[in-house]
């Protein structure tokens, strides 16, 4: 059997011994520095960590006052008004575009039938032609920019 001689190391201080700073902090907190340290808290049972099922179920029950199933449907916002508003606006714009195109196409016949409208129809046709030329130039420049050429 082997025996190890003392190596000059002091015995370790007991775990419960506090340094002077720790003792002072304990006293400032109102704790007894000489009292044994509290035992670690025992973990709670898993079922104690979960909320009470009966309490949750009681809050999820429907209220006694609403027996009318149609009341929930009546409470919903009426989406048909918004949808029909968009639909009617969209169709109004399509209708205006069709009328404008029809007047542009039928301008010579309208001038022959109503000579007093010649000035207004000529200005309208010239404006639409100018818009078409501008749009054509814009598309040509965009096509050239995409192709990377001057062509």
- Model-level pTM? 0.43
Tokens of 123: 């200005």
Q: For residue 23, with 0-12 CB atoms within 10 Å meaning exposed, 13-18 middle and 19 or more buried, which class applies? A: middle
151 vs 142 pLDDT, higher one: 142
pLDDT at residue 79 is higher than 70 = no
pLDDT digits (tens, 9 = 90+) for 98-111: 999 999 999 999 99
Q: What is the DSSP string of 115-127?
A: GGGHHHHHHHHHH
Q: How confident is the model at residue 20 (pLDDT cuts 50, 70, 90)?
A: confident
């Amino acid at each position: 059997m082997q025996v190890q001689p003392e190596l000059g190391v002091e015995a370790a201080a007991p775990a419960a011994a506090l340094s002077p700073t720790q003792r002072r902090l304990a006293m400032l907190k109102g704790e007894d520095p000489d009292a044994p340290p509290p035992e670690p808290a025992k973990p709670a049972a898993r079922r104690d960590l979960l909320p009470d099922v009966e309490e949750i179920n009681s809050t999820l029950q429907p209220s006694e006052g609403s027996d009318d199933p149609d009341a929930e449907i009546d409470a919903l916002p009426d989406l048909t008004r918004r949808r029909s508003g968009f639909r009617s606006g969209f169709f109004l714009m399509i209708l205006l575009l069709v009328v404008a195109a029809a007047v542009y196409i039928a301008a010579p016949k309208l001038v022959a039938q109503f000579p007093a409208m010649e000035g207004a129809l000529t200005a309208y046709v010239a404006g639409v032609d100018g818009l078409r030329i501008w749009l054509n130039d814009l598309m040509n420049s965009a096509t050239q920019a995409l192709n990377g050429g001057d062509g």
